[in-house]
Chains A and B, each alone.
Chain A
Amino acid sequence: MKSAVIVFPGSNCDRDLAVAFEAATGAKPAMIWHRDTELPDDLDLIGVPGGFSYGDYLRSGAMAARSPVMQAVAKAADRGAYVLGICNGFQVLTETGLLPGALLRNAGGHFVCRDVALTVENAQSAFTSRYDAGESISFPVAHHDGNYFADAETLDRLEGEGRVALRYAESVNGSARNIAGILNEAGNVLGMMPHPERVIEAAHGTTDGRRLFEGLVEGLMARA
């Protein structure tokens, strides 16, 4: 199983994500610098990490979305590789157009940095198969621009197609319909603001995040 983590200037969760990938897959992921135009062949899983890529210049994720490597990520997603964007990675995926909508400044104007309760809305996806539908889990968030926005038609479509994977149990940042994470149409791309990679070991307080990575690996094994 081959995985990779994309690294932009200003990424700061790339190593945490690499640790989570390695714990789940048993192999170190390739760390891919933003200037690379090609990814290793046959990647199964690509992580777009949190952080402040390009200093959040212009808009969060805007510059990273136009970097050469993201075109390669889009191609890999097209051929069915799993792509997981966390926090800034979610912003990058919406700016790239791999996921609909946009992430606006938090409604309260504050940077939110705390554990939040989430509800697993769709437990059928590759990313959430190890959770139960309706299960309540806790992940940390740390963001300033996590206020998910899309027009009503898009939101209705996301809901109708089961593409809202995770929802905040209460309003955290003003997100439309308390959306915390969404899937693409094919179900192989997930963007989410909360950080599962920060809750994978007992020392983290909870291991709620671990099942996300384990479920992904299980899904990939089943597919192979």
Chain B
Amino acid sequence: MKARIFVTLKGGVLDPQGKAIHHALDGLGFGGVNDVRAGKLIELDLADGTSDEDIDAMCRKLLANTVIENYRIEKVA
């Protein structure tokens, strides 16, 4: 069983990386970009039967810092 964890900065938390990417896209002539936010994708290969609670605990205890980040879990068959 696999799970993909998407970690993103909360709204209102400054994202200098996203800003730099935005700036670079502008430089390449892509003028229609309103905003860029960069995040992380973490792929977990899990033992079958790993509970949702355990995956959620992994996110809260380590993968995301919930002071500044949100996370979304996507289970892949």
Residues of A within 8 A of B (CB): 58-59, 62, 66, 94-95, 100-102, 104-109, 147, 149-150, 174
**Contact B62–A62 (Cβ < 8 Å):** yes
Q: Which residues of B contact A101 (CB under 8 A)?
A: 67
Residues of B within 8 A of A (CB): 13-17, 19-20, 61-63, 65, 67-68
Q: Is the interface of A mostly helix, strand, loop or mixed?
A: loop
Having A106-B16, A147-B14, one finds 20 other A-B pairs with CB under 8 Å, namely A59-B65, A66-B62, A94-B67, A95-B65, A101-B67, A102-B68, A104-B13, A104-B14, A104-B68, A105-B14, A105-B16, A105-B17, A107-B14, A107-B16, A108-B16, A109-B16, A109-B17, A109-B20, A149-B14, A174-B14
**Contact B13–A149 (Cβ < 8 Å):** yes
Count CB-based A-B contacts (< 8 Å).
Answer: 36
Residue among A59, A95, A109 facing the most chain B CB atoms (10 A cut-off): A59
Contact A58-B62, Cβ < 8 Å, known A102-B67, A104-B68 = yes
Q: How far is the CA of A69 from the CA of B77 in the complex (A)?
A: 37
Q: Which residues of B contact A107 (CB under 8 A)?
A: 14, 16
Q: How far is the CA of A107 from the CA of B20 in the complex (A)?
A: 11
Q: Which residues of A contact B14 (CB under 8 A)?
A: 104-105, 107, 147, 149, 174
